[in-house]
Amino acid sequence: MNHWDIPDWLEREVKERDRTCIYCGTQMVNQMPPSVPRKAVVTWEHIINDASIVTRENIAGCCVPCNSSKGTKKLSDWIKSSYCKKRGINKDTVAEVVKEALRVQTEQGIVADRHSCISTMRQVKAIIGTLAARKVTMPSPHPRSWSPTFNAT
């Protein structure tokens, strides 16, 4: 385990897979010989910003500039940032693992929207239920006393 709580086997697997930055494609190095620029050193990245998701789909290697630019931004927002635009990074140029994460995040967004719709419906039903229990009724558009009259004149 390292300080990110990434198990060794996963660290090895990700290092094996992500030899280039998953975002911008910069060639990565694990150690830092003096000749290698600091930005080429691999950093650990949670593609979806949730430290509890420690899977090979969410842990990836990326370069220092990409990591610090993304920070805590949502992947789908960051990919549209000026940093990405300047470097020509978009949903078609990123590594497969990022493309997959973008797809999942979009699906989760749709599911989250559906959930909020459902919870709104529940709230409406709860309000209607409360009103019914208090015997509050909507005023009828046609009070009972009113009835159509016809003048036969």
Residues that bind Zn ion (CB under 5 A): 21, 23-24, 26, 63, 66
Copy the structure tokens of residue 136. 């509050």
Closest CB to Zn ion among 24 and 101? Answer: 24
Closest CB to Zn ion among 23 and 78? Answer: 23
51 torsion bin: left (phi>0), alpha (psi -120 to 50), beta (else): alpha
Least distance (Å) between residue 111 CB and Zn ion: 30
Closest CB to Zn ion among 86 and 142? Answer: 86
Least distance (Å) between residue 66 CB and Zn ion: 3
Least distance (Å) between residue 81 CB and Zn ion: 13
Closest CB to Zn ion among 25 and 104? Answer: 25
Whose CA is closest to 22, among 91, 71, 95, 73? 95
Least distance (Å) between residue 74 CB and Zn ion: 17
Closest CB to Zn ion among 93 and 105? Answer: 93
The answer to whether the beta carbons of residues 22 and 70 sit under 8 Å apart is: no
Least distance (Å) between residue 60 CB and Zn ion: 11
